[in-house]
């Protein structure tokens, strides 16, 4: 399992960095809660006559087609490889059922899979009912469960990369990142299961994402992702085909529920300090020999950013944090909690012109806040409670952060 997780971590390098931390465990079972489905009215996109040569029009048509889908099921056929010194082949087969929820985070997902990484084989099932998440490792006979508000969404990382077509679950602008990408390239049309598809390669540095879009329904039929490290010495390429795609379904609620089988060990996953709970207090040194205490900041809104200089996604979000620091002034305290560090964080801040405060030696605090990947963000409200938590350099996190700050600061 560790090798498969390592591959997944590399693919997500642009969004978060880090090694898994220890998990809190119990032997109790979780309650299963189902959610209502949001139905949206979609205004049809007027398809132009030259759409076969117009990548933006293809993606806009795919946007409307995907927004109109409330539920989908398909079989995944994943082929790819990862290279770092040696090249290792990866193959995955499985079945997926998806259903929109009130929000993207509350979507209903069921993934069962068998993954082959070189000579290693793992299999399992990952399910979420929009409130709880369940993971069953059928090789290790292990069952884990958790709630979304306690970081249980991280159990979804056990699903093979690319298995979940998240575009089906996004209620607005499912192809927003692609439509705002650096560039497009139209490739020669190809068939998927006998159906003609437009093929659009989207440049999203450091990734190239290629979509096969059905020329009749405009639904995605396959996706290929390629990425490599800046030095070119490590990378990954994979293509996932969504076979037997069906969108005319009404999944039974039991599809999104999972119980611990007899003979399996059971663990509750805790991956975050719950929103609404009191944030654990800490006092950490600053690079100049001083210190900062979270308790002393009571009455102000605090953004804690767990980061390290070597982490590319951490560097990606820092200009935005600097802008928040400059915009809100004394009402908001932005603090970089340096953790898992290998270099000189103070020198890095100075070289890049970042002026918000940082604290160092944050490894123990990171563990207390269940940090498994960086950047990890916590927003602490004026009363000392956790108001927001997110992981990774994801534009959706930036939007959610802006919304919570507007609520807390009244601006």
Q: Which of 132, 133, 151, 152 is nearest to 378 (CA)?
A: 151
Residue 5's pLDDT band (boundaries 50, 70, 90)? very low
Question: For position 16, what pLDDT does the model report?
Answer: 58
> Does 351 or 10 have the greater pLDDT score?
351
Distance CA(245)–CA(34), nearest Å, equals 24
pLDDT in tens, 270-283: 888 988 999 999 99
Kindly indicate whether the domain formed by 283-409 is annotated with CATH number 2.30.30.60: no
Residue 44's pLDDT band (boundaries 50, 70, 90)? low
> Does 283 or 180 have the greater pLDDT score?
283
CB atoms within 10 A of CB 363: 15
Overall pTM surpassing 0.85 (yes/no): no
pLDDT in tens, 310-350: 998 899 899 999 999 999 988 899 999 999 998 999 999 99
The sign of the torsion formed by the CA atoms of 381, 131, 241, 237 equals positive
Beta strands in 67-168 (DSSP E): 71-84, 86-99, 108-117, 120-128, 132-137, 142-147
The ranges of the chain annotated as CATH 3.40.30.10 are 283-409
Distance CA(72)–CA(164), nearest Å, equals 10
Among 42-46, 147-151, 303-307, which range has the highest average pLDDT?
A: 303-307
Q: Which two tokens stand for residue 89?
A: 């082949």
Kindly indicate whether the domain formed by 2-268 is annotated with CATH number 2.50.20.10: yes
Q: Are 88 and 66 in contact (CB under 8 A)?
A: no
Average the pLDDT over 377-396 and give the result: 90
Average the pLDDT over 294-307 and give the result: 96
Q: Which residues contact residue 321 at a Cβ distance below 8 angstroms, ignoring those fewer than 6 apart?
A: 303, 305, 334, 336, 354, 356
Is a pLDDT exceeding 90 seen at residue 37? no
Burial of 291 (0-12, 13-18, 19+ CB in 10 A): exposed
Is a pLDDT exceeding 70 seen at residue 202? yes
Q: Which two tokens stand for residue 315?
A: 């560097």
Percent of the residues in the chain that have a pLDDT greater than 70, as a whole number: 89
Residue 411's pLDDT band (boundaries 50, 70, 90)? low
DSSP string, 106-125: G-EEEEEEEEEETTEEEEEE
Distance CA(117)–CA(74), nearest Å, equals 22
Residue 151's pLDDT band (boundaries 50, 70, 90)? confident
The ranges of the chain annotated as CATH 2.50.20.10 are 2-268
Q: Are 393 and 399 in contact (CB under 8 A)?
A: no
Q: Which residues of 82-99 are buried (b: 16+ CB within 10 A; e: fewer)?
A: beeeeebebbbbbbbbbb
Residue 18's pLDDT band (boundaries 50, 70, 90)? low
Average the pLDDT over 188-217 and give the result: 95
Average the pLDDT over 82-88 and give the result: 90
Is a pLDDT exceeding 50 seen at residue 20? no
């Amino acid at each position: 399992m560790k090798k498969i997780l390592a591959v997944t971590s590399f693919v997500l390098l642009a969004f978060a960095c880090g090694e898994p931390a220890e998990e809190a465990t119990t032997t109790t079972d979780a309650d299963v809660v189902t959610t209502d489905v949001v139905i949206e009215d979609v205004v049809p996109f007027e398809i132009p006559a030259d759409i076969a040569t117009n990548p933006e029009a293809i993606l806009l048509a795919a946007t409307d087609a995907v927004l109109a889908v409330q539920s989908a099921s398909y079989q995944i056929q994943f082929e790819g490889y990862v290279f770092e010194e040696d090249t290792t082949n990866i193959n995955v087969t499985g079945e997926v059922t998806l259903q929109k929820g009130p929000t993207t985070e509350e979507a209903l997902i069921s993934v069962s899979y068998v993954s082959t990484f070189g000579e290693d084989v793992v299999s399992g099932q990952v399910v979420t009912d929009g409130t709880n998440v369940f993971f069953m490792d059928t090789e290790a006979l292990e069952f884990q469960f958790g709630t979304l508000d306690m970081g249980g969404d991280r159990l979804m990382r056990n699903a093979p990369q690319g298995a979940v077509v998240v575009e089906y679950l996004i209620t607005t602008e499912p192809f927003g990142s692609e439509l705002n990408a650096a560039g497009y390239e139209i490739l020669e049309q190809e068939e998927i299961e006998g159906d003609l598809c437009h093929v659009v390669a989207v440049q999203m540095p450091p990734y190239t994402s290629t979509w096969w879009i059905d020329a009749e329904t405009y639904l995605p039929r396959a996706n290929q992702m390629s990425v490599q490290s800046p030095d070119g010495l490590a990378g990954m390429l994979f293509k996932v085909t969504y076979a037997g795609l069906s969108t005319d379904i009404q999944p039974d609620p039991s599809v999104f529920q999972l119980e611990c089988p007899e003979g399996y060990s059971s663990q509750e996953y805790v991956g975050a300090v719950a929103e609404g709970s009191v944030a654990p207090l800490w006092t950490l040194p600053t690079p100049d020999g001083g210190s900062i205490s979270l308790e002393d900041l009571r009455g102000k809104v605090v953004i804690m950013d767990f980061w390290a200089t070597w982490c590319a996604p951490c560097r990606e979000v820092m200009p935005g944090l600097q802008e928040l620091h400059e915009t809100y002034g004394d009402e908001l305290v932005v603090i970089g909690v340096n953790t898992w560090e290998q270099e000189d964080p103070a020198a890095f801040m100075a070289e890049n012109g970042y002026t918000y405060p940082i604290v160092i030696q944050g490894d123990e605090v990171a563990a207390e806040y269940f940090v498994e990947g960086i950047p990890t963000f916590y927003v602490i409200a004026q009363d000392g409670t956790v108001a927001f938590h997110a992981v990774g350099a994801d534009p959706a996190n930036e939007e959610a952060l802006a919304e919570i700050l507007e609520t807390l600061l009244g601006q």
